[in-house]
Structure 1
Amino acid sequence: MDRLEELVNHWIWRQDFWLPPGVTWKDIAEGTSDGSRHPLPRDLLISLPLALGFIALRFVFERVVALPLSRWLGVRDRVQVQVTPVPKLEAFYLQKKKQPSQNDLVVLEKHCGLTQRQIQTWLRQRRNQDRPSNTRKFCEASWRFVFYLTAFSAGLISLINTPWFWDHRECWRGYPRQAVAEAQYWYYIMELSFYLSLLLCVSVDIKRKDFKEQIVHHIATIFLIAFSYCANYVRVGTLVMLVHDSSDFLLESAKMFNYAEWRKTCDALFVVFAAVFLVTRLVVFPCRVIYTAVVDSLDVFLPYPGYYFLNGLLLVLQALHIFWAWLILRMVHKFVFLGKVSIKNPCFHKCYRIVIKKSVFKVERDERSDEESEADEDGDVGEEEYSWEQKKGALNSKLASLANNCVLNNLTNQRRKMNSRTPKAR
């Protein structure tokens, strides 16, 4: 066992890579010789069984707590049409799952004996059949909401009385001989275990539009938590986790009410989430946390490989924050400038109500990260039997007829005004 630990320390936990020049693992332990806890890499091994425990706890929570809660809030699932089994279409769907090209339709038409319209309808219904139900999405969002809210509350309670919570330069005072409080240790372990459980369940969880970005985020977060604990950057690490948890539970709560169709509550929570996200991720995180890790830390030690590794992970997270902030701001822009149109002419109100309803519905589905990447692309259109070109033609004809009616109404109103102004001759 000692031989194995020696090999690990020589090839993986090399002091000259992970620690500043002149600092050793013994220096970290000597600073906490009074009996308080000091970071050790083997402390993180407990996160693996805890991650499996989180998966089991989630399984129980979703069925015992989240499922009855979804029924109480009125979450309703759409009735899915079961398609007639067609082996060749099923094989094509399992391979691609996307919209078929014209060449694909011609080939399938020859092999299946169906028309192209029937093939498109079958594939559309098959995609809708794989769509996750609102109940399943609600249960997943409620589990994350409970954890993020608990983690944020526990982290805020454990950090609000610490000096580095108010002055970030205190993160480096006395480094590397900094003791780790018991509450901060378990805060670290719980966060690491939770993100490991998310990574283990990524194949069964609902795939969202930002699926790849979420994977990068989880991996970067796991490496950041593990490295910052081993190198005793616990003070900076707790601030990073607290900043992330401050807005995540608001997003998950907005998702829950969105699936329950509580529109006003969902919109209010999403506005609060957007404000908190933009402030914490675009102002607090780069200006305070990244700044102290990049600039203030140089007052204590010179740059070394672990320094670049830590700040590189922080910059990866910041790049993801910018990406998600762009999605949020784009949604707000569409809602404000496309969702609210002021037209004084009452004849065009009906036309604009149709356009506004479609634009707002598209904003809510396309920009928020609670929508799926593949299954929800069809949306409610999957149950329609008309193609997009037919719908567009029908909509244009309706708009044209409404416009003609408006012109006729204006001419009629003008004629009435002229008749009222002309004196009657007897």
Structure 2
Amino acid sequence: MDRMEALLNEWLWQDEYWLPPGVHWQDLKMKEGGGRFPLPRDLIYTLPIAFAFIALRYVFERVIAAPLSRHLGVKDQVRIRAASIPRLETFYKQNSRQPSQSEVVSLGMQCGLSQRKIQTWFRHRRNQDRPNNTKKFCEACWRFVVYLVAFTAGLGTLINTPWLWDHRECWRGYPRQPVAEAHYWYYILEMGFYLSLLLCVSVDVKRKDFKEQVIHHITTIFLIGFSYCANYVRIGTLVLLVHDSSDFFLESAKMFHYAGWARMCDTLFIIFSLVFLVTRLVVFPSRVIHTTLILAREFFPTFFGYYFFNALLLVLQALHIFWAYLILRMIYKFMFLGKVERDERSDEESEVEEEEPEEEGDESSWEQRKGTINSKLGSLANNCVLNNLANHRNINSRLPKAR
């Protein structure tokens, strides 16, 4: 361990990269007034904490979230299971979930089935793998609890700190600023949680902004890790607090959407939109980024770590603008067009493909027809503003025909 630390100090953690001129890592190893100074080795603990979060989530979703979903009336759509055809199953798992036209023709010849039946089989098989409402509710419930606890705990630890009210205090005496035990655990737990989100991203419900989410998680992990090592903890706690302030409203809105509580869902989504737009487009750039870009230069000359930290913050701000654009477009469509045709930030992998009429001569059972009807009725029942968050098709344009 000591040899690895010496190697990192020689090649990565050089003083001139991460600390202001004239300051050395040795200056941050002493304790003052019962506090502690952050060290890069502390971040090792975030990996076991991330696995602990994953295990806790597994228990929470099954013991608390799943029963709560049934209590709130979350219903899963009836889906037709694909028939057991080994050759098609092998192709589905090893080659492609959406075969091309030439592959459909080839598979039809190998299995002795028509092209329509091959296409129908793949459609049923894809729907079979898509997450149901209960799974999506459990994910949203877990994130809601974590974000709410993180925001409450973060606000509780910062409410009496001077840098919450006077941002110049973030840099006064930097970098020789001892870190309180509460802020140490606030940092370590937040980084462990975001690391757990990144580790679970491949099994969670996949959304259209999947790439942006991955970039967000990676940027946040780098931001937390670097700001801790370079003792940007004071400004870092403000960044965490701003981000946690709106996320639990979004997750609670999703929960009520999956439960079919349209009025509550819409109310929470409006609150989320207002909080998000104010905190991410007003507070974050005008207070946090202004503090790191402008006020910090009053206390020390610029160096590599200064530019690196601000670059990460600007990446986050670019993502904020991207998501704010989607939210505003969503609100515009709802207020002025009276509908939202498609989710702007949807569960890409959760949209169930609608069944097509079977061609003459194909076998069609009552269970298949019932599954199709239930699928369409489910779409009708879930039609609210937060269709945007679960990617159900909006069928308002078909209502005149239905009537």
SS in 1 for 2:348: coil
Residues 165 and 146 of structure 1: is their aligned pair in 2 closer, same or farther, counting only changes over 3 Å? same
Residue aligning to 2:295: 296
Secondary structure in structure 2 of the residue aligned to 1:382:
coil
Instruction: Quote the RMSD (CA, aligned, Å).
Output: 2.3
Counterpart in 1 of 2:134?
Answer: 135
Q: Give runs of aligned pairs for residues 41-120 of structure 1, distance below 5 A.
A: 41-94=40-93, 95-98=95-98, 100-120=99-119
Name the structure 2 match of 1:424.
none
Q: Residue 13 of structure 1 aligns to a residue in which SS? A: coil
Question: How far apart are residue 195 of structure 1 and its match?
Answer: 0.8
- Write the deviation string for residues 213-270 of structure 1: whole angstroms up to 9, x where unpaired: 1111111111110110110100110011001100110111011001101011011101
79-88 or 151-160, which moves further after superposition?
A: 79-88
**Which amino acid in the other structure matches residue 13 of structure 2?**
W
Q: Does 1:382 align with 2:350?
A: no
- CA shift at 1:201, angstroms? 1.5
Q: Match of 2:35?
A: 36
Answer yes or no: is the 8 Å Cα contact 1:155–1:187 preserved in 2: yes
Percent identity over paired residues: 64
Assess, with a 3 A threshold, how the Cα gap between structure 1 residues 173 and 18 changes in structure 2: closer, same or farther: same
**Where does residue 150 of structure 2 map in the other structure?**
151
Report the counterpart of residue 342 of structure 1 in structure 2.
Answer: none
Partner amino acid, structure 2, of 1:9: N
SS at match of 1:383: coil
Counterpart residue number, 1:7: 7
Query: Is the counterpart of residue 373 in structure 1 residue 317 in structure 2?
Result: no
Q: Once the two structures are superposed, what CA deviation does each residue of 1:15-56 show, in whole Å capped at 9, x if it has no partner?
A: 1111111111123345x4333111111222221211111111
Matched with 2:181 is 182
* Offset of residue 160 of structure 1: 1.4
Contact 2:140 2:252 in 1 (8 A): yes
Cα distance between partner residues in 1 of 2:318 and 2:399: 45
1:229 aligned to 2:228?
yes
Per the alignment, residue 169 of structure 1 pairs with 168
C-alpha distance in 1 between matches for 2:45 and 2:100: 50
Moved more, 34-43 or 15-24: 34-43
Q: Deviations over 1:45-69 (max 9, x none)?
A: 2212111111111111111111111
**Residue in 1 that maps onto 2:120:** 121
Query: Following superposition of structure 1 onto structure 2, how do residues 200-219 of structure 1 map, counting pairs within 5 Å?
Result: 200-219=199-218
**Distance change in 2, residues 1:398/1:282 (3 Å):** closer
Deviations 1:109-158 (A, max 9, x none): 43333323222222221111111111111111111100000000000111
Using the alignment, how far apart are the partners of 2:282 and 2:33 within structure 1? 38
Q: Does the Cα contact within 8 Å between 1:125 and 1:382 map onto a contact in 2?
A: no
Cα distance change, pair 315–375 in 1 and its aligned pair in 2 (3 A): same
Give the aligned length.
365
Question: TM-score, length-normalised on structure 2?
Answer: 0.85
The one-letter amino acid of 1:245's match is: D
**Letter of the structure 2 residue corresponding to residue 11 of structure 1:** W
The answer (yes or no) to whether the contact 1:127–1:375 under 8 Å persists in 2 is: no
| Cα distance in 1, alignment partners of residues 269 and 2 from structure 2 | 53
TM-superposed deviation, 1:372 = 2.2
Aligned to 2:259: 260
Deviations 1:310-359 (A, max 9, x none): 111111111111111111111112112221xxxxxxxxxxxxxxxxxxx5
Deviation at 1:11, TM superposition (A): 1.7
State the distance in 2 between where 1:206 and 1:374 align.
7
Question: Structure 1 residues 168, 120: CA separation in 2 closer, same or farther (over 3 Å shift)?
Answer: same
Question: Are the structure 2 counterparts of residues 313 and 386 from structure 1 closer, same or farther at C-alpha, using a change threshold of 3 Å?
Answer: farther
CA drift at 1:383: 3.0
Gaps of 5+ in 1: 340-358, 388-394, 403-426
AA aligned to 1:20 is: P
Number of the residue aligned with 1:347: none
Partner amino acid, structure 2, of 1:187: Y
The AA in structure 2 aligned to 1:19 is L
Q: For residues 322 and 92 of structure 2, what CA distance do their matches in structure 1 show?
A: 31
